[in-house]
Amino acid sequence: MNVQPVLLLTDLLVFALILVALALAVRARNHAPSRDAWRRVGRRPAAMGAAVILLVFAVIGFLDSLHYREPLPPAPGEAAAAQPRYSAEVLSVLDALLAPLRLQTEKTYSAPFARQLFQRETIEQPGGGQARIHPRLVYGARHLQPEDSLLADIARRLAWTPLVALAASGLLLLALAAPGARRHPGGLRAAMRRILSGRGTLAWRAVLVVAFLLALLIAAGIALAPHYHILGTDKVGQDVLYLSLKSVRTGLVIGTLTTLIMLPFAISLGIAAGYMGGWVDDAVQYLYTVLNAIPSVLLIAASVLMMQVAIDTHPQWFDTAAQRADARLLALCAILGITSWTGLCRLLRGETLKLRELDYVQAARAFGASTAAILQRHILPNVMHIVLINVVLDFSGLVLAEAVLSYVGIGVDPGTISFGSMINMARTELAREPIVWWSLTSAFIFMFVLVLSANLLADAVRDAFDPGGGR
Amino acid sequence: MSAYILRRLLYALPILFGVNLFTFLLFFGLNSPDDIARMQLGAKYTTTEAIERWKAERGYDKPMFWNPARAGMEKLGDTLFVDKSLRMFTFDFGRAGDGHDIAREIRSRMWPSLAVALPTFVLGLFAAIVFALLLVFFRATVLDFWGVALCVAMMSISSMFYIIGGQWLVSKTWALVPVSGYAGGIDMARFLGLPVLIGVVAGLGAGTRWYRTIFLEEISRDYVRTARAKGLSELAVLFRHVLRNALIPILTGVVVVIPSLFLGSLLMESFFAIPGLGSYTIDAIRSQDFAVVRAMVFIGSVLYIVGLILTDLSYTLADPRIRLG
């Protein structure tokens, strides 16, 4: 099928981010101090387990960033045109993979693994008269006869999943042990035993355990999701698992692109102010004091409101609804970046003030090196650990902030699926009788796992890279 | 001392002017008053006359910085910047979209905000410091490890889940207190108990961990070893020596938020229907009442700067070596 690739602005930045991350990874490999620091991160089991979870989230987010538009079938009575027309709906590879979840929408709420709708409906009976019953779902559990046992069916479908998970983690173990087998005596078997007993150089055992659990979950999802609504459906009948998976990209984009956008400003202004002093320092300090003085929620609210006016009064800027939502997401990242760069900028200024008095910087200046060269060669590499620590520490806060902002109404576009919009839609559901608990629970679990993993990894990174730390 | 305070207040003026100019550019530079008028009036009635009338009624029909139609100082004075932005320095915020005087509304709404925010702040600070000292007391034990793990887990939960979960458990399942609402006088306790409790619990994870690192840094100092060597019990060392010496880093983070307690919390007040400044701001955001948002930004910055000055003053109380001058 010929599809038209669509490159949204955030997609472009996501790809740029991946390239930057790869380049930095290569650099860290060839740079002994940062290689050692990353090793220290790798020795922490919690950090390695969290990294595996984050990697899975990142893959989901990446698949959701490959966007395309499907061609429309030619209108009846019209020959296949040379220029095919494309649907206005922008899909992603993740949408295509989750097609059963995306398309199998019910009428309204249904509980996880339910056979019937959650609410009663008045149905005209064939013999006349009406009845208030829970109608059968259109898609969920439709293969089950009324007398079939739900648990037996689930058990039958899950029977093969532990095997798959075991096989997957076994392959991972082989792949991890193979490089060590050549270098050490005892061969592959000894290398595998070293990993399994947790005596390896890095905490590979934690990786294997987490990978096994994740493989189990993913296999169970693949086995059950086409036949059941595992996490139920929401008010308009959309599958909650689909919504949760789609929210991942929004959270990741806000957590990472915000820092990507603000980093150039924070770094250049921070080290310029610290190194040059004088009026540059005064100007930068004035700028971040002013921005800092405004409470961040209010600054974000004001900026988002004005952005909303700009977007609403200029509908001609965007071709599709997806582009508008995407522009809004990016603008939100930029706005969050404006409010969050001040902290990093101040830290970098302080660190640069210390560095500029050190002997090697003085020596470089005495040799006549230009300011730009000193900043780039001598100052910047020595403040990068602060930048890295800040980036990973900020991530979880930004993911949490998105949910709050979307609730207040100054977050993502209403059409964008995010944790915030899920919570916002679900918050009245607990007041219903009987309560609808699954949307909120799903949003809670996905968000909790994402933020907790980020926090665990951030802790390890801070401990490993902060030279004065040891906290 | 008073000379110092006066000088700090004078330093604050350029910053407030910067805030003022920044918000003005944000509100009027990005979108012209015409755009805002069109937005507020909706697509239906957007004739040019309607827009002009809307602007004239609300005083938006002036040039931004320079009014050539006037004479003398009025060229600068009769402009949007002076009328809508600089005027806020006199705490005259104009009228909200519904015609009420914003300054009066703020004066009456800040007390409910304070009634929630102040107990939350005091109890939260107390609980976090006590738990942090306990963790430090049991440092490098299993209890410390799992305590920190619990803190990290608690930090990873969005505050909205604390609110929603708390309302569901305490108000709906146990039916102990009303779900939301507000009343003055003796009834206040019934309505404020739950938001305060949730606010304390929601902030506990991050707070405990933060104070724990501060105390741990302090506990490796020489004076602590001396105190132990002269035979003080560990509890006496922690509460009498470590806590007092850790006050400076604690005050740095704490005092600055005290004035901002007047602003209340957007989330709490919205979920619990408390008629404070937080819910006022949310209502203004949802109805796109820019005048109110502008006023809140200005007040927020003023309170923040007051907080910075108070922080410096509090240092002199905590540490007699620090002299301001």
Q: Which residue of A has its CA nearest to B211?
A: A471
What's the total number of domains in chain B?
A: 2
Residue at B324 is within a domain? no
**B110, B200: one domain:** yes
Grade residue A471 by pLDDT with cuts at 50, 70 and 90. very low
| Smallest Cα distance from A171 to chain B, Å | 31
Looking at residue A467, what is its pLDDT? 65
> Quick check: A337 and A259 in contact, CB under 8 A?
yes
Residue at B95 is within a domain? no
**B309, B226: one domain:** yes
> Quick check: A71 and A2 in contact, CB under 8 A?
yes
pLDDT exceeds cutoff 70 at A77: no
Give the residue-averaged pLDDT of A80-101: 80
Q: What is the pLDDT of residues B261-272, one digit of tens each?
A: 888 888 889 888
Q: What is the pLDDT of residues A173-221, one digit of tens each?
A: 888 888 777 777 777 888 888 888 877 778 888 999 999 999 999 999 9
Looking at residue A1, what is its pLDDT? 58
Give the residue-averaged pLDDT of B215-223: 89
Report CB contact under 8 Å: A430, B14: no
**B293, B241: one domain:** yes
CA distances from B266 to A466, B103, B131, B160, B276 (A): 35, 19, 27, 11, 9
Mapped onto helix, strand or coil, the DSSP state of residue B284 is: helix
Rounded Cα distance, B294 and B64, in Å: 16
Residue at B18 is within a domain? no
Looking at residue A429, what is its pLDDT? 78
Amino acid at A388: L
Q: Which residues contact A287 (CB under 8 A, 6 or more apart)?
A: A269
Looking at residue B44, what is its pLDDT? 57
DSSP A141: T
Interface probe, candidates B8, B27, B156, chain A, greatest A C-beta count within 10 A: B156
Quick one: which H or E segment has residue A133? strand A130-133
Q: Average pLDDT of chain A?
A: 86
**B159, B272: one domain:** yes
| Smallest Cα distance from B72 to chain A, Å | 31
Domain with CATH 1.10.3720.10 in chain A: 240-469
Q: What is the pLDDT of residues A255-286, one digit of tens each?
A: 999 988 889 999 999 999 999 888 999 999 99
Grade residue B209 by pLDDT with cuts at 50, 70 and 90. very high
Rounded Cα distance, A96 and B101, in Å: 54
Give the residue-averaged pLDDT of B278-300: 87
**B154, B241: one domain:** yes
Amino acid at A410: I
Q: Average pLDDT of chain B?
A: 85
Q: What is the pLDDT of residues B105-134, one digit of tens each?
A: 899 898 899 999 999 999 999 999 999 999
Looking at residue A22, what is its pLDDT? 92
Grade residue A352 by pLDDT with cuts at 50, 70 and 90. very high
Last residue of a domain, one of B63, B90, B117: B90
Please state the ipTM of this predicted complex.
0.87
Report CB contact under 8 Å: B35, A310: yes
**B157, B281: one domain:** yes
**B260, B189: one domain:** yes
Q: Chain A residues with CB inside 8 Å of B307's CB?
A: none
Q: Which residue of B has its CA nearest to A445?
A: B157
Report CB contact under 8 Å: A293, B23: no
Looking at residue A357, what is its pLDDT? 87
| Smallest Cα distance from A7 to chain B, Å | 27
User: B22-26, B142-146, B308-312 — which one is most confidently predicted on average?
Assistant: B142-146
- Closest partner CB to A290 (pick from B15, B217, B288): B15
**B153, B68: one domain:** no
Give the residue-averaged pLDDT of A402-419: 86
Which two structure tokens, joined as six digits, stand for A207? 């990786």
- Closest partner CB to A305 (pick from B153, B167, B293): B293
List the domain range (segments joined by +) for residue B253. 102-318
Which two structure tokens, joined as six digits, stand for B66? 């320079």
Q: What is the pLDDT of residues B55-84, one digit of tens each?
A: 777 777 777 777 777 777 766 767 777 777
**B135, B253: one domain:** yes
Rounded Cα distance, B14 and B9, in Å: 10
pLDDT exceeds cutoff 90 at A55: yes
pTM for this entry? 0.91
Rounded Cα distance, A462 and A385, in Å: 9
**B184, B220: one domain:** yes
pLDDT exceeds cutoff 50 at A470: no
CA distances from B235 to A41, B207, B245, B318 (A): 34, 21, 15, 21
CATH number at residue B277: 1.10.3720.10
| Smallest Cα distance from B281 to chain A, Å | 8
**B75, B158: one domain:** no
Q: Chain A residues with CB inside 8 Å of B216's CB?
A: 471
Looking at residue A81, what is its pLDDT? 56
A240-469: which CATH number, 2.60.40.10, 1.10.3720.10, 3.40.50.410, 3.30.1390.10?
A: 1.10.3720.10
**B186, B306: one domain:** yes
| Smallest Cα distance from B213 to chain A, Å | 6
